[in-house]
Structure 1
Amino acid sequence: MPTLRHSTFHALRPRWWTLAAVAAGALLLTGCAPWRLMTASDLAKASRPYAAQPAQPERRILVVGDSTAVGTGAARPEDSLAGRIGAAHPRWQIDNLARNGAKFEDVQAQLEQARPGYDLVLVLAGGNDVIRLTSEQQLHGHMEQAIRTAKARGKQVVLMPCGNVGHAPLFMPPVSWFLEGRSKRLHATAQAVALESGVRYIRLLKPRAQDPFVQRADALHAADGLHPSSAGYQQWYEELLRQEGLASLTGG
């Protein structure tokens, strides 16, 4: 009889996992304003990844990741993080393979499209893994694989996950609390993988009382209350320079 119960439990476990995922998805949808979801979709459709192809580039940069790597939410591609790097370094070639909605699993596919030889690979992802409930074990594996491939594509790699998703105005309690915890686990994983892999990690995660995306929510978020605005990407750019400095990373 114990064997039968054990077998029955394992037979039913996938069903329970499915029900839990459906329930969590429903909770996420009820925890945010529908008009903001539609706005987020419109912003994603209108966004275009920034890229630059100077005739004789001094450095070659590869950008991969999700909508934050595309620059969704910025008023124009030049206002994105990649665009601000390009404005500061007009002689740098910037190739951008990022896609809206990408998880770390998808970042691996983006990297496989690129050839080796970049001076720097900038990886901006993680938000979709937080929102779409990627397990910690899967996230660690996908991130580890992506960073391993990124190291084969560039001399330097910078891992820059998004800030705390739970602080975005799109989400309301208790969903925001749930996503805040998942964001912390995302960054714990990113920090561990970066340390194991010997790559640079940029920490955008901050306590609520110190997070500029909470203190200046309207200015730093786009209309959907999720993605950074042009000013938000400027904040990220300043944080990137403060923590690392692009010129030192690329040998410039």
Structure 2
Amino acid sequence: MKRRRVLHPTLVGFLVSLAGLTELTVAAEPVPGTVVLEGFQANPARPRQRLLVVGDSTAVGTGASAPAQSLVGLIGRAHPDWMIRNLALDGAKLEDIAAQLRVGAESYDRLLILGGGNDVIRLSSLPQMREQLNTILSLAKQRSSTVVLMPAGNVGNAPFFFWPLSRWMTQRSRELHALAAQLAAVHEVSYVRLFKERAEDPFVAQAKLLHADDGIHPSDAGYALWLRELQAQAPGLF
């Protein structure tokens, strides 16, 4: 009788994760199962502040139940007298965020940059990420004197990724945040560190609550946590 070969569970997990990574690498679309939103914007008659938001799906609010529950939506709810222009796009890499900053020439009181996760997942090299972040921050400083850089958290901790691919994604996320912190200091902009190691990450301890059903984006509660991090690390700005 011929014996059946059974794949080790670790190998199965790696192959499943690799298939998911391939899907995310070749397509700039939200993961199946997510709610696709348009980024939250606001245009009050007499705005007290003007905020420009650029970035990827985390700035659009993918994973939230409604635009008002996204990070940018929560900022808008906290500051109903702010004008908010949101140029973010699902699937945007750092080079796409740089292109967003080239749209128009208006100045803003505040500028929020949310991105980097797609470069982690879609395997941009460290030199590429350094070059694009330098470009982004240079362009951002031309549009606002108050710039906040807020890269995605530890992508490797997302339930979407199985070990050992999750470990690789964690290392790439760690490298992204090291670059972001370094270049934020060079360009004299604020930097919000969402990266946390697995043992201290609430997105691991409360994965079902803080992640959307796709297992990669924040949920309503996840974006609310991000807002608290933003307010704590960039005090007085949001």
TM over 0.5: yes
Code of the residue aligned with 1:109 in structure 2: it is A
2:91 and 2:17 mapped to 1: Cα distance? Answer: 16
Is the CA contact (8 Å cut-off) linking 2:33 and 2:213 kept in structure 1? no
Q: Name the SS for the 2:112 alignment partner.
A: strand
Which of the residues 51, 55, 63 maps onto 1:61? 51
1:43 aligns with 2:34: yes
Deviation at 1:140, TM superposition (A): 0.3
Is the CA contact (8 Å cut-off) linking 2:33 and 2:214 kept in structure 1? no
1:179 aligns with 2:174: no
Deviation by residue 1:131-189 (Cα, 9 ceiling, x = unmatched): 01000001000011011101101120000001000000000011101100000000000
Deviation at 1:207, TM superposition (A): 1.6
2:158 aligns to what?
Answer: 168
Q: Name the SS for the 2:62 alignment partner.
A: coil
Code of the residue aligned with 2:166 in structure 1: it is S
1:191 aligns with 2:181: yes
Q: Name the SS for the 2:102 alignment partner.
A: helix
Following superposition, which runs of at least 4 residues in structure 1 exceed 2 angstroms of deviation?
Answer: 26-32, 41-44
Q: Name the SS for the 1:116 alignment partner.
A: coil
Code of the residue aligned with 1:87 in structure 2: it is R
Q: When the two structures are aligned, how many residues end up with a matched partner?
A: 220
Deviation at 1:231, TM superposition (A): 0.5
1:50 and 1:29 mapped to 2: Cα distance? Answer: 32
1:39 and 1:233 mapped to 2: Cα distance? Answer: 17
Is the CA contact (8 Å cut-off) linking 2:92 and 2:118 kept in structure 1? yes
Is the CA contact (8 Å cut-off) linking 1:220 and 1:231 kept in structure 2? yes
2:200 and 2:162 mapped to 1: Cα distance? Answer: 19
Deviation at 1:47, TM superposition (A): 1.5
Q: 1:1-252 to 2 correspondence within 5 Å?
A: 28-30=17-19, 40-43=31-34, 46-245=36-235, 248-249=236-237
Deviation at 1:43, TM superposition (A): 2.2
1:53 and 1:29 mapped to 2: Cα distance? Answer: 42
1:17 aligns to what?
Answer: none
2:16 and 2:187 mapped to 1: Cα distance? Answer: 35
2:202 and 2:148 mapped to 1: Cα distance? Answer: 22
1:76 and 1:96 mapped to 2: Cα distance? Answer: 15
Query: More helix by proportion, 1 or 2?
Result: 1
Check 1:225–1:92 CA distance in 2 against 1; reply closer, same or farther (3 A cut): same
How big is the alpha-carbon RMSD for the aligned residues of Structure 1 and Structure 2? 2.1
2:137 and 2:195 mapped to 1: Cα distance? Answer: 20
Give the TM-score normalised by the residue count of structure 2: 0.88
Is the CA contact (8 Å cut-off) linking 1:31 and 1:172 kept in structure 2? no
1:144 and 1:234 mapped to 2: Cα distance? Answer: 29
Deviation at 1:28, TM superposition (A): 4.9
Unaligned runs of 5+ in 1: 1-25
Q: Which has the larger radius of gyration?
A: 1
Code of the residue aligned with 1:152 in structure 2: it is Q
Deviation by residue 1:190-231 (Cα, 9 ceiling, x = unmatched): 001101100000000112111010010000000000000000
Code of the residue aligned with 1:191 in structure 2: it is A
1:41 and 1:93 mapped to 2: Cα distance? Answer: 32
User: What fraction of aligned residue pairs are identical, expressed as a percent?
Assistant: 49
1:5 aligns to what?
Answer: none
Deviation at 1:243, TM superposition (A): 1.0
Deviation at 1:64, TM superposition (A): 0.3
Is the CA contact (8 Å cut-off) linking 1:159 and 1:201 kept in structure 2? yes
